[in-house]
Structure 1
Amino acid sequence: MSLSIVIMAAGKGTRMKSARPKVLHKIAGRPMLAHVIGTTSTLHAQQQVLITGHGADMVEADMAKAFPEAPLRFVRQEPQLGTGHAVQQAVPVLPDEGITLILNGDTPLIQASTAQALVDACGGDKLALLTITLADPTGYGRIVRDASGERVLAIVEHKDASPEQRAIREVYTGMMAAPTARLKGWLSRLTNDNAQGEYYLTDVVAMAQAEGLAVVAAQPQDEVEVLGVNSPAQLAELERRHQLAQATTLMEQGVRLADPARFDVRGTLQCGRDVDIDVNCVFEGTVTLGDEVRIGANCVIRNARIDAGAVIHPFTHIDGDKDGVTVGEGSLVGPFARLRPGAQLGREVHIGNFVEVKNSTLADGAKANHLAYLGDATVGERVNYGAGSITANYDGANKHRTVIGQDVHVGSNCVLIAPITLGDGATIGGGSTLSKDAPAGQLTVSRARQVSLPGWQRPQKHPKKQGG
């Protein structure tokens, strides 16, 4: 049976107090709407229809870019006259058969299993509602059941509910699944005869009852799946709940987190055995940590693979971006180091404090321990790269490569002007600026002769004249 997914993402989000559309505010590094689309993409729907409104151009452009292969269609709700009016805008693009699943773009943590359970509960011949029992149901539509408690009779919006109905704790989450043909008929008959003068999607429940269609309910495994966001405070609360859930899962797998409340994954993080992560670390994109990796406090790591036994000392920034970063087994990085896209470290490489590496390969045992820059370089095994030394890889128009052979010793404060090659076993004297290749096995020095000038005096400041 064909499946269409409708995601409501038209709201302005006034309480967010932001020029950015509400559904583009981020949870775990991704827009809320992107979480929903990413989850529902696993359901293999024939189409996903996004209902946009406020900031529609921005929302549509961002989602089309984020999901170029997804079967996305966009319809607009202008003006916004309620949830029923929103789904009415999708009617022209919906088929006349199958099931339509309706979700919220500001409820980012819905799980695919829950969405599928809702579709299964519908089965093509029932109206299925996603409900949950909350300790504080304020603001949600209440689920009204018959005397037996088995049948759903209606959903009453909070603003229209009586005091008795507001005491009900089972609420409608805003998500449902319905036979598409029936849904299109119900939507055509909606009215705005209510306190807000809006077209409520929830009115389809009474219509289903009138037609003798069974109304059933499904519930998520966790409350966090159905919590929406309407304010920065709610966004922050949901972020922390989501991060704690990720931290708990990792700790159940054996990862040691110094404090799960100070830990963020904004992508995917895979860990081997006996991984140890200190506080305030952020993992973005795709990160893989091998067995016995240790991550110090206050590190940011994005799109990187860190192999077994490596230690990332505190305050290190690793950003692999599209090219990725690899840290080999037993390597030591940091503190205060920066690995940029294309940095590839072999086994037991040392990258020390205030060292930056970009688009460079360092072979096994190479060391750059202090205050250095390696850009567009190929570094051989056991190289010792001195403090304050840099590869001058950019001529103002093009990048050039530096090749450093194995067992090379580069002294402190050297400038290697690329393109240049240092032969195996070469030694470069401290303070040298090289623009030509250095031969293998020899000492190469390029610096001015030291001169001392007797009788020279340092300039003195002249006293200021007093005004008359």
Structure 2
Amino acid sequence: MALNVVVMAAGKGTRMKSARAKVLHRLGGRSLLQHVLDAAAPLGAMRTVVVTGHGAEQVEAAVAASGAVFVRQQPQLGTGHAVQQTVPALDDAADTTLILNGDVPLIRPETAAALAAACGGERLALLTVELADPSGYGRIVRDAAGAVTAIVEHKDASDAQRTIREVYTGMMAAPTALLKRWVMALKDDNAQREYYLTDIVGMAVAEGVAVVAAAASGETEVLGVNSPAQLADLERRLQRQRAEALMTAGVRLADPARFDQRGTLECGQDVEIDVNCVFEGRVVLGDGVSIGANCVIRDAEIGAGAVLHPFTHVEGATVGAGALVGPFARLRPGAELGREVHIGNFVEVKNSRLADGAKANHLAYLGDATVGPRVNYGAGSITANYDGANKHRTVIGADAHIGSNCVLVAPVTIGDGATIGAGSTIGKDAPAGQLTVARARQASLPGWQRPKKAPKA
């Protein structure tokens, strides 16, 4: 099927009470508009046209990589007026034009495809859904044979029509040539002085063009966002969907109501995730990984059998199989932990590679370092990697032992099997297999008196 896709994204979203365009508010780690464009992508449209208006420059910049064509609706004079702006941009070779809403982010690709197929380049197809409480929605009115004859807005509906539970979702598909002619014939002779896209239903009926309905799978995929409360509600619905998908695949979530996936999450077998964990970007968890409570993990790969203890933050890092990290540890971009590495409480690692079996168990910093296998890195020790202008690297050889409260002033190399005495500041290379100590001689001063405050006048 040759297809145009139109995405309506011009609205301000007054009830959001935000300077940001409504469609750029985020849901599950992506903007509302990006969700819609991602849903439309599998349809293989010949052309995707995004109608922008409020915050147009920011909206267009945010989704420029999608390859969409942008048209602007200024001022905003209704849904029909928005589609009027797309007429010059539509590809006439596409027999069907699918219209989606940029603030309805959870539309499924399958539903969008079914809506386009229902049109088939010949019919006006409306996406509908049945609601337990349809208050406020336009009702789908059918004749005795079941054919759609009109959309009646709630405020204009009779008592009998208000009992109808099937409502219009704001999304449709139409034959391209007919859509272009219909929208250009719309009138603004209403109280709001706006051009309503739904008026084309009457035009189709008058011309004998079949009007059909395609049903959504449920209300969640057709819910729009108009306020922070609605955005929060949709966030929880989305997270519940993602949690259920993970649990179906065998992941053990301590509480699916306290789980947030804001990107892609790939899990092996027997993965366990405790409460209040946040996953952003692309995260891969190997078989048997255990994630403790209140962890934040972004763009990371965690190897099989690794354990992240509670309150651990990981970003742009890789963790080897069987490693133990945390609690209260931080792995920053470029951190690479080998197999069975231990990173303990209040340890920060940045742009450093720790080989198999290395340990930094307490209150330490490793930045721009290469750490050999089985190194023991003492509590309170740091690599002084920044000289005020440039970063420098520290190399620690295999089986070295770094005592507590040491400062390794980069660039510096600690040889294999070397021991650095506690409290040392090391600014020169330390030889392999030897004890290196760099600290002042201890002295005690007899008769020394601690300073005292002068008595108050």
Q: Which residue of 1 aligns with 2:353?
A: 361
1:326-351 CA-to-partner distances (Å, cap 9, x unmatched) read 11111000000000001110100000
Q: Which residue of 2 aligns with 1:445?
A: 437
Name whichever of 193-202 and 171-180 sits farther off: 193-202
1:148-179 CA-to-partner distances (Å, cap 9, x unmatched) read 3x211111222333333222111111111111
Distance in 2, matches of 1:101 and 1:419, equals 60
Q: Which residue of 1 aligns with 2:385?
A: 393
1:62 aligned to 2:54?
A: no
The 5 A counterparts of 1:102-251 are: 102-148=99-145, 150-251=146-247
Cα drift, residue 228 of structure 1: 0.4
Q: Which residue of 2 aligns with 1:48?
A: 48
Cα drift, residue 60 of structure 1: 1.1
Q: Name structure 1 gaps, 5 residues minimum.
A: none
Q: Which residue of 2 aligns with 1:8?
A: 8
Contact 1:145 1:154 (8 Å CA) reproduced = yes
Name whichever of 345-354 and 165-174 sits farther off: 165-174
Instruction: Report the TM-score, using the length of structure 1 for normalisation.
Output: 0.96
Contact 2:365 2:383 (8 Å CA) reproduced = yes
Q: Which contiguous aligned blocks of 4+ residues in structure 1 show a shift greater than 4 angstroms?
A: none
1:248-302 CA-to-partner distances (Å, cap 9, x unmatched) read 1111111111111000000011111111111100000011111111111000000
Amino acid at match of 1:60: E
Q: Which residue of 1 aligns with 2:425?
A: 433
Cα root mean square deviation, aligned:
1.1
Contact 1:46 1:71 (8 Å CA) reproduced = no
Cα drift, residue 464 of structure 1: 1.1
Distance in 2, matches of 1:31 and 1:56, equals 14
Q: Which residue of 2 aligns with 1:74?
A: 70
Contact 2:358 2:371 (8 Å CA) reproduced = yes
Contact 1:274 1:292 (8 Å CA) reproduced = yes
Distance in 2, matches of 1:203 and 1:28, equals 35
SS at match of 2:438: coil
Cα drift, residue 208 of structure 1: 1.1
SS at match of 1:90: helix
SS at match of 1:301: strand
Q: Which residue of 1 aligns with 2:374?
A: 382
Cα drift, residue 23 of structure 1: 0.8
The 5 A counterparts of 1:293-442 are: 293-320=289-316, 325-442=317-434
Q: Name structure 2 gaps, 5 residues minimum.
A: none
Contact 1:160 1:195 (8 Å CA) reproduced = no
Distance in 1, matches of 2:267 and 2:44, equals 29
Amino acid at match of 1:160: D
Distance in 1, matches of 2:212 and 2:235, equals 31
Contact 1:265 1:284 (8 Å CA) reproduced = yes
Cα drift, residue 12 of structure 1: 1.0
Distance in 2, matches of 1:139 and 1:318, equals 45
Distance in 2, matches of 1:159 and 1:71, equals 39
Cα drift, residue 435 of structure 1: 1.1
SS at match of 2:360: strand
Q: Which residue of 2 aligns with 1:89?
A: 85
Distance in 2, matches of 1:319 and 1:442, equals 36
Q: Which residue of 1 aligns with 2:254?
A: 258
Contact 1:248 1:260 (8 Å CA) reproduced = yes
Distance in 2, matches of 1:450 and 1:254, equals 60
Cα drift, residue 202 of structure 1: 0.7
Distance in 2, matches of 1:162 and 1:192, equals 23
Distance in 1, matches of 2:22 and 2:97, equals 24
SS at match of 1:421: strand
1:276 aligned to 2:267?
A: no
Contact 1:348 1:365 (8 Å CA) reproduced = yes
Contact 1:159 1:195 (8 Å CA) reproduced = no
Q: Which residue of 2 aligns with 1:463?
A: 455
